[in-house]
Amino acid sequence: MKHVLVLNGPNLGRLGSREPDVYGATTFEDLAALCRDTGRRLDLDVDVRQTDDEAELVRWVHEAADGRVPIVLNPAAFTHYSYALRDALAQRTAPLIEVHISNPAAREEFRHTSVVASVATGTIAGFGMMSYVLALQAVAELVAETPAAQ
């Protein structure tokens, strides 16, 4: 079973109460359960984490790089300006899927730029919580395509 980190940035711990018109009524705990259940179906060991602290998120990315662990990442507000996060992600050693619950391109102009997209394997956005399911499916496929020796 392949270990995968599902990392979430600032304010995502407030899902369910934060802007439900944008993010829906699903709580962070519901999202974590969805990710773990999806992982089990895909033979992935999913570890879901959330932080409002940029330094902690960077440490988790370093941990993943050192362990060759794939990442599903919703960088939240860090998407648009965290060069520290971007530089940490550039050191990745396994697939990295950037996810967003909403579609940033359909929102305020400041959300249109992702500084992490250029170092991600791919980006999935705008499908609500299904974005995470799609990202985990992508990770499962990418891991299956990678020879065991790598």
Residue 111 in marked binding region? yes
Residue 101 in marked binding region? yes
Distances from the Cα of 5 to the Cαs of 1, 98, 104, 105, 110, in angstroms? 13, 12, 22, 25, 27
Query: Which of 3, 62, 83, 100 does the annotation list as catalytic?
Result: 100
Q: Which residue has the tokens 């992935």?
A: 44
Catalytic residue check, 112: no
| Half-sphere exposure of residue 54: CA atoms within 13 angstroms, side-chain side | 12
**How far is Cα 45 from Cα 39, in angstroms, rounded to an integer?**
6
Residue 11 in marked binding region? no
Give bridge partners of residue 124 from the DSSP assignment: 99
| Half-sphere exposure of residue 93: CA atoms within 13 angstroms, side-chain side | 10
Q: How many residues does the chain have?
A: 150
Structure tokens at 60: 């988790």
Catalytic residue check, 132: no
Residue 74 in marked binding region? yes
Q: Which residues are annotated binding-site positions? A: 74, 80, 87, 101-102, 111
Q: Which residues are annotated binding-site positions for substrate? A: 74, 80, 87, 101-102, 111
Please identify every residue annotated as catalytic: 23, 100
